[in-house]
Structure 1
Amino acid sequence: MQLRQEVSAWRPRVAGVVEVFHARFTAHAYPMHVHDEWTLLIVDDGAVRYDLDRHRRGTPGGTVSLLPPQVAHNGSAATSHGFRKRVVYLDTTVLDERYIGAAVDGPDLADSVLRRRVGQLHRVLTSPGDELEAESRLALIGERLRALLRPGVELPGARTEPPGADPRHAIAGSLRELLDERVVAGVSLQEAAALIQAHPAHLVRSFSAAFGIAPHQYLTSRRVALGRRLLLDGRPAAEVAIEAGFHDQSHFTRHFKRLVGTTPGRYACRIHGSV
């Protein structure tokens, strides 16, 4: 099968929107990773399967997938011809953290109104100069999401807290805070164990059990996310590699391609409308 990759990414001048990402992949599999933002995803062709909080999920036709921030997930094509998707990454001004638990329990939303509104938002976001319309459509999307997720209504078996919130995972939480503080500088496992006062192996097991992702995978995904933001700022890939905490550009390129589906250079060449 011939591999096909088409990627377009940009940051519009719309409050609440961190990035817009359009992609067509025939054979690309995302490893486990996290985002700092909400991932609002629609698939226009094919289908995507993914694991979220240790549950297999998918994107059947007509759904909108909402993946919460800081919750590990992966992704791959569920059809032989791949998939074509449109993603908008939203910060917590659009949807706050109270909705994370509900989104973990039900990330794939079969709602025709929401699907139509997300499609309309993408149409507007491809036309610089229509910021007011984009903000208006985004406001309606946020309202619809809040109505669908309804965090105040407890469904049978529904989660009320995001993964890792259990107090039994205090060690894992401490390690995540340390990794967040040292995204660029990094930290060795031995140093982390000494700071948190836990055995290194126990640290790794606790973190993986709490968040569904290994500590090194978490740190790498945070660094790639930082790299994406710097590339959207128009920074050259060679500089971004070092500023995002990678040893060199080849190291950055290898991990970026695994997590984004294209190289930093190709990603940067397809950016438009950046600020």
Structure 2
Amino acid sequence: MSNWVNIAQDKSTGIELVHAHFKGFAYAPHLHSSYLIGVTELGHQQFNCRRKVIDSYQGQVFMLEPEEIHDGNAPDPLGFTYKMMHLDPAWLKKSYDGLFKESFELSIESTLRSDSQLSHLILSTYNILNNNESQLMKDTYLDLLLESLVNKKILYKREESIHTLPNIASELKEILHESLFQDLDLQTLSTLVQTDRFYINRVFKKNFNCSPHQYLIQLRLNKAKELLKKGLSAATVASYLCFSDQSHLGRWFRRCYGITLNQYQKACTNVLDLS
């Protein structure tokens, strides 16, 4: 396998997504203006940073702060593959302000972590951004990722403070029911209920055993069934319900119900062709 680099960008956040594979020499010493957060998917990645040689193996997390000089090479003949996200410091600060309702600056204590849960969360977040999932789903996973990177004392402090807040779960649920046909994001939801995103996720999950984005997906899938029964095309239904396209709706439909859109519509209507 020769060297390759695939780059994409999430339009809503500006986060740059990099999926790459290198053999031998990868890149010379350089720096970025963004935070780098990634996972070594395969092989053995080696780089110099903070006056140390860092060896990252499959499943390990690597993180760098802005303007940290680093290089890269593959000590093993098969090379290494990684997925990585570039997080803009201004976006990160604004996101933390909305998450905790207080100013916070991220500090990376270690460039390498062996943490399977964090590794899974980073890869899941990367894939959700890359697959253009709903804005609410993107926001939820990004918030979970940002929470996992802060000092645990900050989380404990926020957990303690939210016990005195009113239960707004029913209000959140009502807003989600009203948002079937518009792309809702967590910051808008936060503004509507006048509390931070940290509390929104916790109070909703405590009351309904799922996150707001999971609940909204189920509402939209149920509505999709109604619209398909009426004979609307899958492409039209997907567009109405804020899925990125028909394939996106189809993936969720099959994941939750075990059948395709075409199979469902043929069984419930006289429509024989979804195209």
TM-score for the superposition, normalised by structure 1:
0.48
TM-score for the superposition, normalised by structure 2:
0.48
Pair member with larger Rg: 2
- Flag the structure with more relative contact order, 1 or 2, with Cα contacts below 8 A and sequence separation at least 6: 1
